[in-house]
Amino acid sequence: MGENTGTKAVTLSDVAARAGVSIATASKALNGRGDVAATTRARVRAVAEELSFTPNAMARGLLAGRTGTVGLLTSDLEGRFMLPILMGAEDAFGAGRVNVFLCDARGDAIREQHHLRELLSRRVDGIIVVGRQTDPRSSLGQGISVPVVYAYAPSDDPRDLSLTPDNVAGGRMAIEHLLACGRTRIAHVSGDPSYAAAQDRLTGARQALADAGLQLVGDPMFAEWSEHWGRDATALLLQRHPDIDAIFCGSDQIARGALDSARDLGRAVPDDLAVIGYDNWEVLAENSRPELTSIDANLQQLGRQAAQKVFEAIDGIDVGAGVRHLPVRLAIRGSTIARR
Amino acid sequence: MGENTGTKAVTLSDVAARAGVSIATASKALNGRGDVAATTRARVRAVAEELSFTPNAMARGLLAGRTGTVGLLTSDLEGRFMLPILMGAEDAFGAGRVNVFLCDARGDAIREQHHLRELLSRRVDGIIVVGRQTDPRSSLGQGISVPVVYAYAPSDDPRDLSLTPDNVAGGRMAIEHLLACGRTRIAHVSGDPSYAAAQDRLTGARQALADAGLQLVGDPMFAEWSEHWGRDATALLLQRHPDIDAIFCGSDQIARGALDSARDLGRAVPDDLAVIGYDNWEVLAENSRPELTSIDANLQQLGRQAAQKVFEAIDGIDVGAGVRHLPVRLAIRGSTIARR
DNA sequence: CTGTTAGCGCCTTCAG
DNA sequence: CTGAAGGCGCTAACAG
């Protein structure tokens, strides 16, 4: 641990004293404010550099009423949806010289309240609440003195602004891609049916099929978001409906399982059977045989936009309210279109 | 966005005025400091509650000289090793009522310097630097006025304190487990040989084999940390050395590929061939067929310990210096021992 | 028991 | 062009 550890930080008055000027002059010199003689300014700056003076952001914030600080309140860091959102937000804020307070509530409402208090006591200029599912979550309430934006999990209060991926459009996009590939006998294997994401994707899929005068082969199969289930469901499916030519999977994990079962049962992907996943989780999608076509929710983009909205709200711009469904995109790989 | 947005935060003097006491008395009443009449205290507390007063942490910090704030400087949020470490640290700090500033330098030294300055200007009480590989990284230097602890990627300066997983022990542990399972003809497939992690794990593996009077079958195979490589390498390996009875893989991704190839080539796992991975990345390890035995680096624990060390250093306790190699553990699943 | 006073480090008038 | 004074919100000594 550095030998300088514990040294008291140098203050503006240290710099002023060493430069032989008053604190006020030193302040002006360093901030380029007011009229200061060029020589004086240079001298002060040199001293500041020499002492490696760093202005105390707290003292500044106390005056300014702004801290240049934003709270990121996550419900569960573990979820893999958090990370890209967090990255996007951190990225956007970092570019604007704002720092991020990270708080993980571990999915616990009490801990969340606790963290909220802390963030407010630190006078963050704004808050982004990131949830782990797209199901609506309870609002933090309207009595908060700084702007709040909800990302991924929308707030259940329409007065709040929420950004969430458009799962209905994603479901539609998946089916439209399969149709474009000439598939017509399409089945659906998804995860936990209690998730809004599962229902929304199904809704979109059905819309797209209906638009083409088609419908799903068999009932949609729901259970859990795992490879195991993807394997089991697909085996069952191919036995019951051997004539299907495509499977729309509710997640990439399920799709990986589907690919495994298809291979076991001698069905060639994509020639004989097309498989499309959801999430575009690259570690899974790019390492399967064949590589997996998938729907990407643009989460990093979502995080960036959430940050953007918080910025605007801080600047007094009206960012509106309600749930915004952000567009998703298709990542095409070999599981739906033969390569080369 | 809440209708209260923009309202000026209520201050202690608001509370004091409304309660008909002086600011000092209000402060004492709320903090349980000094002697205050029980009735007064109750009244002040009621008013504070009513106005939903939140003390200004900045003003407090200004007096106390401590901010109750720690910086987490990551080099790359994307890496999956970051998340558990970050969680562990956030967890430990959260319990101690400390908040975390998250900064992602995106692997860029200039951005790192920039973030470091920001953290110092916010007067964080300490800093954890989290790297994405176990290769030593350049030190932030000794001129920093707060304690710094390096996690995962150790500092190249022995005067710094670094916590990193013990990859040598991990390699040894993997081999010892395979030996305990009765395997003797063991091969090694790993990732990018320029990673210290790859070399350290190999070193540990060789030590354990030597202790048993054995050696690796064939040369260790290095290329990249991917399923693709795991598949290709394993196919090659089984062709060149059909008599091997176990593969120690440098990552779970590689191990997943190994399982795939083994299945393709008709080798039964674990009866005919045992496979052990590294990282214990549960999404991969628990969804393979059979499930994957793996070495777990206890990263969340590592993050917690880093936080702990920072705490101690802040409290003036000497935490020492140098690189600490933290113990890893074995997660046994079906790829080395038949289930049931 | 309560209120007054003096700062923490910085920035912003406003005189000199 | 420079410096002295006031105050951001809060707490820690002191008086009263």
Q: Is the CB of residue B35 inside 7 Å of nucleic acid strand C? A: yes
Nearest protein residue to nucleotide D5 (CA to C1' distance) is: A24
Tens-digit pLDDT profile for residues A80-110: 899 999 999 999 998 888 999 999 999 999 9
On the question of pLDDT at B1 being above 50, the answer is no
Give mean pLDDT, residues B320-338: 97
Q: Which residues of A touch B256 (CB under 8 A)?
A: 287
The answer to whether the CB atoms of B102 and A87 lie below 8 A apart is no
The pLDDT value given to residue A340: 60
Rounded, the Å distance between the CA of A52 and C1' of D10 is 28
- The beta-carbon neighbor of B123 closest among A56, A67, A141 is A56
Q: Is the CB of residue B11 inside 7 Å of nucleic acid strand D? A: yes
- The beta-carbon neighbor of B145 closest among A5, A77, A256 is A5
Rounded, the Å distance between the CA of B148 and C1' of D5 is 40
In this complex, the nucleotide whose C1' atom is nearest to the CA atom of residue A121 is D9
CATH class of the domain at A68-165+299-326: alpha beta
Q: Do the strands B329-331 and B293-296 form a parallel or antiparallel pair, or are they unpaired?
A: antiparallel
Which comes out higher in pLDDT, residue B30 or B332? Answer: B332
Q: What is the distance of C-alpha A195 from the center of its chain?
A: 18
The answer to whether the CB atoms of B101 and A97 lie below 8 A apart is no
**Token pair for residue A16?**
């002023």
Confidence at A2, pLDDT banded by 50, 70, 90: very low
Rounded, the Å distance between the CA of B19 and C1' of D11 is 19
Cα–Cα distance list, A270 to A294, B87, B195 (Å):
14, 40, 36
CA-based nearest residue in chain B for residue A61: B58
The residue among A58, A161, A318 with the most chain B CBs within 10 A of its CB, best to mutate, is: A58
Q: What is the pTM of this model?
A: 0.94
Distance from CA of B340 to the nearest CA of A (A): 19
Q: Which residues of B touch A72 (CB under 8 A)?
A: 102
On the question of pLDDT at B11 being above 80, the answer is yes
The CB-based long-range contact list for B179-184 (8 Å cut-off, 24+ gap) reads B179/B208, B179/B212, B179/B214, B181/B246, B181/B270, B181/B274, B181/B336, B181/B337, B183/B245, B183/B246, B183/B274, B184/B214, B184/B245
Tens-digit pLDDT profile for residues B30-87: 988 777 888 998 889 999 999 989 999 999 989 888 899 999 999 988 878 999 999 9
What residue has token string 């777990």? B296
Nearest partner of A241 among A267, A276, A222, judged by Cα: A267
Confidence at B7, pLDDT banded by 50, 70, 90: low
SS3 labels along chain B = CCCCCCCCCCCHHHHHHHHCCCHHHHHHHHHCCCCCCHHHHHHHHHHHHHCCCCCCHHHHHHHHCCCCEEEEEECCCCCCCHHHHHHHHHHHHHHCCCEEEEEECCCCHHHHHHHHHHHHHCCCCEEEEECCCCCCECCCCCCCCCCEEEECCCECCCCCEEEEECHHHHHHHHHHHHHHCCCCCEEEEECCCCCHHHHHHHHHHHHHHHHCCCCCCCCCEECCCCHHHHHHHHHHHHHHCCCCCEEEECCHHHHHHHHHHHHHCCCCCCCCCEEEEECCCHHHHCCCCCCCEEEECCHHHHHHHHHHHHHHHHCCCCCCCEEEEECCEEECCCCCCCCC
> In sequence order, what DSSP letters do the residues of A240-295 get, joined into one string?
H-TT--EEEESSHHHHHHHHHHHHHTT--TTTT-EEEEES--HHHHTTSSSPPEEE
Tens-digit pLDDT profile for residues A216-267: 999 999 999 999 999 999 999 999 999 999 999 999 999 999 999 999 999 9
The answer to whether the CB atoms of B1 and A160 lie below 8 A apart is yes
Q: What is the CATH number of domain A167-297?
A: 3.40.50.2300
The CB-based long-range contact list for A117-120 (8 Å cut-off, 24+ gap) reads A117/B54, A118/B57, A118/B97, A118/B99, A119/A71, A119/A73, A119/B99, A120/A144, A120/A145, A120/A146, A120/B9, A120/B54
How far apart (Å, rounded) are the C-alpha atoms in residues A22 and A12?
10
Q: Where are the domains of chain B?
A: 12-63, 68-165+299-326, 167-297
Confidence at B4, pLDDT banded by 50, 70, 90: very low
Sheet of A186-190: strand order equals A221-222, A186-190, A246-249, A274-278, A293-296, A329-331
Rounded, the Å distance between the CA of A205 and C1' of C5 is 72
Note the maximum CA span of chain B.
Answer: 88
Q: Is the CB of residue A19 inside 7 Å of nucleic acid strand D? A: no
> In sequence order, what DSSP letters do the residues of A303-335 get, joined into one string?
HHHHHHHHHHHHTT-----EEEEE--EEE--TT
The answer to whether the CB atoms of A148 and B120 lie below 8 A apart is no
Q: Say which residues have a Cβ less than 8 Å from residue B17's Cβ, sequence separation at least 6.
A: none
The pLDDT value given to residue B3: 38
Evaluate whether A68-165+299-326 and A167-297 have a shared fold: yes
Q: Is the CB of residue B28 inside 7 Å of nucleic acid strand C? A: yes
Tens-digit pLDDT profile for residues B183-227: 999 999 999 999 999 999 999 999 999 999 999 999 999 999 999
* pLDDT more than 70, % of chain B: 98
Cα–Cα distance list, A248 to A45, A170, A187, B221, B333 (Å):
63, 11, 6, 37, 31
On the question of pLDDT at A66 being above 80, the answer is yes
CA-based nearest residue in chain A for residue B56: A121
Task: Of A39-48, B229-238, B239-248, give the lowest mean pLDDT range.
Answer: A39-48
Q: Is the CB of residue A56 inside 7 Å of nucleic acid strand C? A: yes
Q: Is the CB of residue B42 inside 7 Å of nucleic acid strand C? A: no
How far apart (Å, rounded) are the C-alpha atoms in residues B51 and B44?
11
CA-based nearest residue in chain A for residue B149: A1
Count CB neighbours of B86 within 10 A: 26
Give the SS3 label for residue A176: helix
CATH of A12-63, one of 1.10.10.60, 3.90.1150.10, 1.10.260.40, 1.20.1600.10: 1.10.260.40
Distance from CA of A177 to the nearest CA of B (A): 26
Q: Which residues of B touch A232 (CB under 8 A)?
A: none
- The beta-carbon neighbor of A148 closest among B2, B115, B318 is B2
